[in-house]
């Protein structure tokens, strides 16, 4: 599975769902592809950190169909989690950049696929 399969003209062309409970997070056309190397804690506790390079960028938190925010983590960052089952972090938001909410492309489920296959 590659990010490009879900991207057309740099825009998301698939639905993005929670990898755990399938709650809808983003609708098609609501996000743009964003490439930046950012470290994100792994979903498993004590799993260390992972460098994520491909993200879905949204400039307004109300664009999300469903999203949760964890309490401030290191450096004042906020982690984006599933609003229903609270799995995360699925993305990150830096309050110093109010128009930047990013979801890790490798941590979400696309469309209505039943099986989550982590990269
Ligand atoms: Zn969920």
Distance from residue 16's CA to the centre of ligand 1 (Å): 11
Distance from residue 119's CA to the centre of ligand 1 (Å): 19
Q: Residue 63 — φ and ψ, nearest 5°?
A: -70, -30
Q: Where are the domains of the chain?
A: 3-110
pLDDT attached to residue 119: 47
Q: Residue 3 — φ and ψ, nearest 5°?
A: -60, -35
User: For 3-110, CATH number?
Assistant: 2.170.150.10
Query: Residues with Cβ < 8 Å from 19, sequence gap 6 or more?
Result: 87, 90, 107, 108, 109, 116, 118
Distance from residue 35's CA to the centre of ligand 1 (Å): 24
pLDDT attached to residue 47: 78
Distance from residue 90's CA to the centre of ligand 1 (Å): 10
Regions in the chain scoring below 70 on pLDDT: 1, 72-74, 113-119
pLDDT attached to residue 36: 98
pLDDT attached to residue 1: 58
């Amino acid at each position: 599975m590659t990010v490009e399969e879900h991207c057309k003209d740099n825009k998301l062309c698939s639905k993005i769902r929670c990898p755990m409970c399938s709650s809808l997070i983003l609708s098609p056309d609501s996000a743009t592809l964003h490439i930046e190397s950012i470290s994100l804690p792994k979903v498993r506790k004590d799993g260390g950190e992972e460098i994520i390079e491909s993200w879905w960028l949204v400039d307004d938190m109300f664009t999300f169909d469903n999203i949760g925010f964890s309490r401030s983590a290191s450096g004042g960052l906020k982690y984006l989690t599933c609003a229903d089952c609270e799995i995360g972090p699925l993305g990150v938001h830096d309050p110093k950049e109010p128009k930047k909410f990013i979801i890790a492309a490798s941590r979400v489920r696309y469309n209505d696929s039943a099986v989550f296959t982590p990269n």
